[in-house]
Amino acid sequence: MKHIVERIKLANGAEGLLIDVADAQVMTFEFNFRAGEYLVDPAKWETPHLMEHILLGANKLHPKARIFQAEFEKNGAYNNASTGVYDITYEAECAAFEWERILELMLLSISQPLFLDEEFEAEMGNVREELNGRANNHFRHLSLAMRKYCGYQGMTDRERLKILQNNTKKDIEAHYKRTHTTSNMRFVFAGSIKGHKATIIRMLEEMELAKGKGRIPLPLEEPIARTKPLYLRNQSVKNLYFIMDTFHLEKLNEDEWDAGQLINTMLTETLYSRILGSAREKGLVYSMSSGFNQMTSNVSWWFGAQIMPQNAKPLFDIIVRELNAVREGEIVEADIEAAKQYMLGRYQRSGQTIGGTAAGYTNRFYFEDEIDDYYALPERIKAVTKTKIIKTTELMFQDKTWAIGFLGSAGKPMADELHEQIAQLWQNKD
C-alpha cells in the first residue's frame, strides 16, 4: 500500500511512527514497552505475561474485563497483547469511523488498569492452560530450550508452569509501575492519519502514565559455543526434531543482512530451494525452516525441521553439501535471480493490508530504534550479488560459535552422530 511514514517524539518522552495510508478504511494501533521477562527475577518469570493478560481487563471506567471487552468490540474492533523476553506489545484494529473511540479505550486500559484480585486469579488459570497447551508444541519446546543452551535468557513452557505460583498481584503491580512509563513506550499507528495527527498527539500526551527515566536498555547477551548437542528425550515422539544455530559475533550491516535473506530464500524457503527442494525430491522431509535473528550485538542463522530418524543423516548430508557449496561460490546467477523474484513478490504481498504495512516497520523500530525504508527494499534486493552472498555466508561460520539440539526418542548416540556430521561446517575453513 502506498503510504507516508513520519516519526514523532512527544513531550512525555514517547516516540512512534505515524503511517499514513490515504483513504484507508481501518486503523491499527500498537504500543510497545520494554517490559519482558529479562527484567524480572527468573523465579518470577511469568510476572510480565500475567500482567499483559490482566491489563486489557478491568480499568478505571469498566469494573470488569467482560464489560470492557463488550464496549471495545461492539463495532467489530479487535485487541490483543503479547509478551516476549524483551517486550510487551498491545495492539488494536478498528474501522476508520471509530478510531478515536478505540484509541481512547486502549489508552485507558494501558494507563488505568485496576488489577483486580478476581481477575488475577482467573488469569492465573488462563495462563496455566496456555502454557500447558504450548508445552505440547515440540518445536517450540526445543526452540526455547535451545535459546537457553546457546546462552540467551529464556525458559521453556514446562519450566514456566513449575514456577507460575511464585507470582503475586504485588509483583504485577510493581512490574507495571517500573515499565509502563511514557518514555519507555514506542507506538506505531497505521491508517488514514491525515487530518488526525494533532488529535493523536494530544491523546497520547494526555495519557495518565508517569514519564519515567527513558527507554529501558536491552540486555547484552553473548552466544556460547557448544561442543556437544542438546538432547531432549521424549519417548512419545517418533519423529526427530532438530534446530541448528550458528552465530556471527557482530551485527550484520544492511548489505550483509540483505544477502543473508536472499541466500536463506535460496536454501529453504521454496519447494525448489537448494536444501528443502533437494530433500523433498528424495522424500526425506516434508518441510524445513530457517532464518536470521538480529540480536543486540550479534546475529544467528538457524535451521530446523522434524524428520523421521532414518532420514536425518541423508538430510544432514544435503545441508552440509549445499552450505559448503555456497561458501565455495558454487552459485549460478539464475538461482540468484529466481530468489530475487520470489523476494520481490513476497514484498509486494506483505503490504496488501494496513496491518501488513505496519508490520514492515514494527520489529526493527522496537528492537533497534531504526526505521526501514520500505520503498528502498526492492532496490536493496536487486543489489545483492554473488560476492555479497558468499561473504555473508562465510561470516556466519567464521566465529565457530554454534550449537545443535534434538528432541525425540531416537537416542543420545544418534544425536552425537548427527552433531559430528554437521560439525564439518565449522571445520572446513580456518
Helix, strand or coil for residue 414?
helix
Sorting pLDDT into bands at 50, 70 and 90, what band is 271? confident
Q: What is residue 111's three-state secondary structure?
A: helix
Distance CA(426)–CA(419), nearest Å, equals 12
Q: Is the pLDDT of residue 155 over 80?
A: yes
Kindly state the cell numbers that stand for 265: 530464500
| Mean pLDDT (the chain, rounded) | 95
> Which among 138, 151, 68, 159 has a CA at the least distance from the CA of 110?
68
- C-alpha cell at position 206: 494526555
Mark out the alpha helices in 328-424 (DSSP H runs). Answer: 333-350, 354-368, 377-382, 386-398, 412-422
Residue 281 has pLDDT above 80, yes or no: yes
Residue-wise pLDDT for 37-62, tens only, equals 999 999 999 999 999 999 999 999 99
pLDDT band at 1 (very low <50, low <70, confident <90, very high): confident
What integer is the mean pLDDT of 9-31? 97
pLDDT at residue 348 in the model: 84
Percent of the chain scored above 90 by pLDDT? 95
Proportion of the chain in helix, strand, coil states, percent, rounded to 5: 50, 20, 30
DSSP state, residue 215: P
Q: What is the pLDDT of residue 92?
A: 97
Question: Where do runs of H (alpha helix) occur along 11-137?
Answer: 47-55, 65-73, 99-111, 117-134
What is the rounded average pLDDT of the residues 299-320?
97
Look at residue 352 and tell me whether its pLDDT is greater than 90: no
pLDDT at residue 430 greater than cutoff 60: no
Q: What is the per-residue pLDDT for 429?
A: 55
Average pLDDT over residues 378-397: 96
* 364 close to 370: Cβ distance less than 8 angstroms: yes
pLDDT of residue 140: 96
Strand partners, 401: 247
- Burial-class residue 99 by CB neighbours within 10 Å (0-12, 13-18, 19+): buried
Gap between the Cα atoms of 286 and 61, Å rounded: 51
> In this structure, how many other beta carbons lie within 10 angstroms of the beta carbon of residue 188?
22
Mean pLDDT value of segment 412-417:
98
Range 230-426 classified under CATH 3.40.220.10: no
Q: Where in the chain is the domain with CATH 3.30.830.10?
A: 4-205, 230-426
Distance CA 95, CA 105 (A): 14
Phi, psi at residue 76, to the nearest 5°?
90, 10
**Lookup result for grid cell 469498566:** 62
- Distance of alpha carbon 306 from alpha carbon 137, whole angstroms: 12
CB 333 within 8 A of CB 160: no
Say what percent of the chain tops pLDDT 70: 99
CA distance 364 to 87: 13
DSSP lists the bridge partners of residue 247 as 300, 401
Tally of CA atoms within 13 A in the half-sphere of 316 that contains its CB: 24
Q: Quick one: DSSP state of residue 125?
A: H
State pLDDT tens for residues 157-200. 999 999 999 999 999 999 999 999 999 999 999 999 999 999 99
**Amino acid identity for residue 119 in this structure:** E
Distance CA 343, CA 264 (A): 11
Asked if pLDDT for residue 13 goes beyond 80, the answer is yes
Rounded to an integer, the average pLDDT of 272-278 is 94
The pLDDT, as a whole number, for residue 428 is 61
Give the rounded distance of the alpha carbon of 405 from its chain centre: 20
4-205: CATH class: alpha beta
